[in-house]
Amino acid sequence: MYNEALMKRAVQLARKVKKEGEGDPFGCVIARNGEVVAEEGNKGFKTFDPTTHAELEAVRTASRFLKTQDLSDCELYTSGEPCPMCEAAINWSGIPVVYTAKTAKEAENAGLLPVPETTYELQYKPLQDQTLDPYLDEQ
């Protein structure tokens, strides 16, 4: 069930990371049964790591804190609509509900860069030696 105080905290985290120059203004809170299990802000400028988005960092923190990859009993509050990378992490973690204060269009209108297009060429190159299958146990 939606909790305005948790959304307010996500927005406060976004404002904090922007003010402190740690990253773009995005914040995220993950809660289970109304209790915060993770809160993170974007850290891209601070870490020089383009994957340290607030939602992705919060999923990592919540998973470590709860000692499980299954966050299906949690809710996620984010200051801005998750990008495809963060959506993937949210999907993999099983979080069933995401609340966002701002849409992707609003972020773009605020001058934040849109999600980049794919910049690489994906080439499928299976190994000739089929005994080296990464998905099968060693024989």
Q: pLDDT digits over 111-139, tens only?
A: 886 666 767 776 777 777 767 767 777 65
Of 80, 76, 79, nearest in space to 108 by CA: 80
User: What are 12-46's pLDDT values in tens digits?
Assistant: 999 999 999 999 999 999 999 999 999 999 999 99
User: What are 72-101's pLDDT values in tens digits?
Assistant: 999 999 999 999 999 999 999 999 999 999
50 touches 77 (CB < 8 A): no
Q: Which domain, by its residues, includes 24?
A: 4-132
> What does pTM read for this prediction?
0.86
**Residue 25: how many CB atoms within 10 A of its CB?**
22
Per-residue pLDDT at 58? 99
Tokens encoding 17: 């990371």
Residue 139, in any domain of the structure = no
Q: What is the dihedral of CA 51, 56, 62, 67, to 10 degrees?
A: -60
Per-residue pLDDT at 133? 67
Number of compact structural domains in the chain: 1
| Contacts of 12 by beta carbon, 8 Å cutoff, 6+ apart | 27
Residue 80, in any domain of the structure = yes
Per-residue pLDDT at 105? 86
Catalytic residue among 39, 40, 55, 75: 55
Residue 137, in any domain of the structure = no
Q: Is the pLDDT at 59 greater than 90, yes or no?
A: yes
Q: Is 40 a catalytic residue?
A: no
Per-residue pLDDT at 33? 96
Residue 138, in any domain of the structure = no
- Angstrom distance (rounded) from CA 48 to CA 37: 25
Q: Which helix (H) or strand (E) element contains residue 100? A: strand 97-100
Per-residue pLDDT at 139? 55
User: What are 46-58's pLDDT values in tens digits?
Assistant: 999 999 999 999 9
Residue 31, in any domain of the structure = yes
Q: Is the pLDDT at 110 greater than 80, yes or no?
A: yes
Task: Name the β-bridge partners of 97.
Answer: 75
Domain CATH code at residue 85 = 3.40.140.10
Per-residue pLDDT at 129? 78
